[in-house]
Structure 1
């Protein structure tokens, strides 16, 4: 059985560090940037519920089903949000990348691309996962488009799969990337990330705005 343990992953733009209780205040500041919890088709903690969300994620880590991270921007040390390996099956091993949210002002800056590159690289090249999964609400068009830009393929839709906080039933889109696709997916992510690493003076005219909304 592969051991999936807390680890710090450092990329070009962000560092993913293991979640601790000490991250609470920085995460509250991050989630207030854009108030993304107001989108009914997402599951994002409010400032008041952040401590409980940290407790929930750490409890799942203790149970071996989740590995939660905090995303911190390298340039200034600002905490951007949270992400996880979840639905962990250590015997495969197989993970889902999810329970992700980031402060709104980080959108389009390349930080989300860097975080996904870090998580996928670790999953395929260190943990040896044969597949990595992503799930999102059918109605979350922005999230679905971002997942598809990664190179993930839609496996199917689970109808009336989960009940949301407002009582509505969620149709869940299930995507995956398999190991044989990883080389191509990695090249695509590295190319997208490189656009954000170029000095502004060397970017092609009109290139600003071509970056996807998820980073």
Structure 2
């Protein structure tokens, strides 16, 4: 199966639904109270949510991204977004990124459960060779979460991007390889059982 194929992924904690413009109001509600951090892009205004959806849909149409909304199963609330991005179908590589979660979903089982779904889909359905995860050098919360998943540090892309404020972003690159997936899966499953 191709990484960009739109489909619903679900487990006991979350459901990932293909992103559409119909999710806009629920995404605005999910982003309420979040500050736009300088190291991450969270759409916190009506215009930003609309632009974010249009960007993700455009990249999906071009085959470079597969965007989902994250729905918490316990109450049916949309609590954020995530994607397969930088899709390299030929080399069976993909990145999980462009992820944000609303305040009510942070520090809960939601992120672990969503990553469990995405990684299983990548490795078990799409036959991925490797899955990347990237974050800003200064985003310590994201770096810690990626490391808890069991991803290995590949390196740092120094001065990788020019940020909207003109500063330079160092991007930390992690990956999980196909042969590492069974151990990562066990770790995620154990964390979800404890949750």
The bucket for the TM-score relative to the shorter chain is over 0.9
| 1:81 CA drift (Å) | 0.3
Q: Which residue of 1 aligns with 2:163?
A: 164
Contact 1:36 1:104 in 2 (8 A): no
CA 1:92 to 1:195, structure 2 compared with 1: closer, same or farther past 3 Å? same
Report what 2:183 is aligned to.
184
- Within the alignment, does 1:71 sit opposite 2:70 as a pair? yes
State which drifts further: 103-112 or 13-22.
Answer: 103-112
Report the counterpart of residue 4 of structure 1 in structure 2.
4
CA displacement, residues 147-196 of structure 1 (integer Å, 9 cap, x when unaligned)? 00101011010000011122111000010000010000000000001111
- Structure 2 distance, partners of 1:17, 1:82, is 9
Alignment of 1:3-22 (within 5 A): 4-22=4-22
Give the 5 Å matches for 1:33-72.
Answer: 34-37=33-36, 39-48=37-46, 49-72=48-71
Query: Alpha-carbon deviation of 1:143?
Result: 0.4
User: How far apart in 2 are the matches of 1:83 and 1:151?
Assistant: 19
Indicate the structure (1 or 2) with the bigger Cα radius of gyration: 1
RMSD: 1.2
Q: Report the counterpart of residue 146 of structure 2 in structure 1.
A: 147
**What runs of 5+ residues in structure 2 fail to find an aligned partner?**
none
**Corresponding residue for 1:202?**
none
Secondary structure of 2:30 counterpart:
helix
Q: TM-score, normalised by structure 1?
A: 0.88
Q: 1:12-65: per-residue Cα shift (whole Å, max 9, x none)?
A: 110000000000000000001x3132x211121222310011000000000000
Q: Is the 8 A contact 2:137 2:169 kept in 1?
A: yes
Deviation at 1:75, TM superposition (A): 1.2
CA contact (8 A) 2:4 2:60 kept: no
Q: Which residue of 2 aligns with 1:24?
A: 24
* TM-score of the superposed pair, with normalisation by structure 2: 0.96
**Alpha-carbon contact 2:87-2:93 (below 8 Å) kept:** yes
Instruction: For 2:129 and 2:2, locate their aligned partners in 1 and report how far apart those are by CA, in whole Å.
Output: 12
Question: What SS does the aligned partner of 1:64 have?
Answer: coil
SS in 1 for 2:115: helix
**Structure 1: runs of 5+ lacking an equivalent:** 197-215
Point out the more displaced range, 2-11 or 110-119.
2-11
